């Protein structure tokens, strides 16, 4: 029997920046995630992806509604949930190894044991050779691999990833997709992954949550049934196109508000490649 691992029940989040004019970042969000699932949150800029991730991380709180992890309400950050951000956030004054050991030492793990566990994780992300390098000596992709090792060495049940590969070039991103998929299948962690990139979501996820704006929330949920490891084939291309179509409807709504009601994404757009970022750069 599967257990409901993460339950979002009628979740609502309003930011009250201006008096009497709240920004509804999330409205009526109902969703259930099973243990070990890979879920992507996909959608245009401002649809509440990061807000939802931050609430699950315990870094922010919903205005109303319920969020349960293993049946318990979330009241703040915890060792069961670790976030990997777009910027690796490594401490520049510590070596790669010291960065990965840091959380374990804070937790009170003995130094030798912490070093052994950190080295184990550096091997898993193929960075053994760079254990004693400083972060500034690493490429962007390598820094993100250290950030993933630093998160997974803590053995969280849930890994939350906020556009972790968005700043990387296409080739590096493809390599990291493969590495992440391998780590996920070996560790059986639950992963919640925020992205603007349809192809990235299709390659990695069991399910894709397509989000909408004004108010922010869930527009649709797509199940990715293609076998793993995934390659571009007719099944994934068909799904990418279906998602793109719905995403374009959402973006049309946002862009009409920004550019005026005579604007049309269909006639004015530059490209409809599914690999494009559906973010503020449009
Ligand atoms: N701290 C805050 N104070 C006020 N408004 C906020 C705050 N954080 C987010 N918002 C607003 O809530 C909405 C959702 O923002 P959020 O960052 O979650 O969207 P997103 O989908 O992650 O966007 P992006 O893809 O651009 O990162 C936006 O309208 C944003 O302006």
The tens digit of pLDDT for each residue in 236-263 reads 889 999 999 999 888 888 777 777 777 7
Per-residue pLDDT, averaged over 114-137, amounts to 97
Q: Residue whose CA is closest, atom 31 of ligand 1? A: 46
Which pLDDT value is given to residue 271? 45
Ligand 1 is surrounded, with C-beta below 6 A, by 15, 17, 23, 25, 43, 45-51, 216, 279-280
Q: Residue 24 Cα, ligand 1 centroid: separation in angstroms?
A: 9
Which pLDDT value is given to residue 281? 35
Please answer whether residues 194 and 161 qualify as being in contact, where contact means their C-beta atoms are separated by less than 8 angstroms.
yes
Looking at the 3D structure of the chain, how many domains does it have?
A: 1
Residue 214 domain flag: yes
Residue 233 domain flag: yes
Ligand 1 pocket mutation, candidates 11, 13, 15, 60, criterion most atoms within 8 A of CB: 15
More confident residue, 57 or 226: 57
Please answer whether residues 173 and 165 qualify as being in contact, where contact means their C-beta atoms are separated by less than 8 angstroms.
yes
CA distances from 209 to 22, 48, 99, 195, 238 (A): 24, 12, 32, 10, 17
More confident residue, 265 or 134: 134
Residue 135 domain flag: no
Residue 45 domain flag: yes
Residue 20 domain flag: yes
Sign of the four-CA dihedral 133, 134, 138, 140: positive
Please write the tens of the pLDDT for every residue from 182-224: 999 999 999 999 999 999 999 999 999 999 988 899 999 999 9
Q: Residue 198 Cα, ligand 1 centroid: separation in angstroms?
A: 20
Which pLDDT value is given to residue 241? 93
Please answer whether residues 199 and 275 qualify as being in contact, where contact means their C-beta atoms are separated by less than 8 angstroms.
yes
Ligand 1 pocket mutation, candidates 12, 16, 23, 57, criterion most atoms within 8 A of CB: 23
pLDDT, the chain, mean? 90
Please answer whether residues 60 and 140 qualify as being in contact, where contact means their C-beta atoms are separated by less than 8 angstroms.
no
CB neighbour burial string for 232-263, b if at least 16 within 10 angstroms, e if fewer = eeeebeebbeebbebbbebbeebbeeeeeeee
Assess whether pLDDT exceeds 50 at residue 124. Answer: yes
Q: With cut-offs at 50, 70 and 90, classify the pLDDT of residue 3.
A: low
Retrieve residue 242's tokens.
């279906």
For the CA of 280, the closest atom of ligand 1 is 26
Reported as type and span, the H/E element at residue 234 is helix 234-259
pTM of the model: 0.90
- Three-state DSSP at 102 gives helix
Q: Residue 73 Cα, ligand 1 centroid: separation in angstroms?
A: 23
For residues 238 and 234, give the distance between their C-alpha atoms in angstroms, rounded to a whole number: 6
ipTM above 0.95, yes or no: yes
The domain that holds 33 is classified in CATH as: 3.40.50.300
Return the percent helix, strand and coil in the chain, to nearest 5. Answer: 40, 25, 35
Residue 170 domain flag: yes
Per-residue pLDDT, averaged over 168-172, amounts to 93
- Residue 8: give the domain boundaries: 4-80+156-259
For residues 88 and 20, give the distance between their C-alpha atoms in angstroms, rounded to a whole number: 37
Residue 68 domain flag: yes
Residue 54 domain flag: yes
For residues 259 and 252, give the distance between their C-alpha atoms in angstroms, rounded to a whole number: 10
């Amino acid at each position: 029997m599967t257990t409901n691992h993460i339950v979002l029940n009628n979740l609502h989040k309003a930011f009250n920046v201006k008096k009497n004019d709240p920004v509804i970042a999330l409205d009526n969000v109902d969703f259930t995630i099973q243990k070990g699932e890979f879920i992507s949150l996909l959608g245009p800029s401002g649809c509440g992806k990061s807000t939802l991730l931050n609430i699950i991380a315990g870094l922010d709180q919903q205005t109303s509604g319920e969020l349960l992890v293993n049946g318990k309400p979330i009241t703040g950050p915890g060792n069961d949930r670790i976030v990997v951000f777009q910027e690796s956030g490594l401490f520049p004054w510590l070596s790669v190894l010291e960065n990965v050991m840091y959380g374990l030492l804070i937790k009170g793990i003995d130094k030798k044991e912490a070093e052994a566990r950190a080295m184990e994780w550096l091997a898993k992300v193929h960075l053994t050779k760079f254990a004693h390098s400083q972060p500034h000596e690493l490429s962007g992709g390598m820094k993100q691999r250290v950030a993933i090792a630093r998160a997974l060495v803590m053995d969280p049940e849930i890994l939350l990833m906020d556009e972790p590969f968005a700043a990387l070039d296409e080739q590096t991103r493809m390599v990291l997709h493969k590495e992440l998929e391998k780590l996920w299948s070996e560790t059986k962690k639950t992963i919640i992954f925020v992205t603007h990139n349809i192809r990235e979501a299709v390659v990695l996820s069991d399910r894709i949550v397509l989000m909408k704006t004004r108010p922010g929330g869930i527009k649709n949920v797509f199940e990715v049934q293609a076998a793993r490891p995934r390659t571009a084939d007719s099944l994934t291309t068909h799904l990418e196109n279906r998602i793109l179509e719905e995403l374009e409807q959402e973006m049309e709504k946002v862009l009409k508000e920004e550019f005026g009601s005579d604007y049309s994404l269909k006639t004015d757009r530059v490209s409809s490649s599914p690999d494009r970022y559906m973010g503020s750069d449009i």
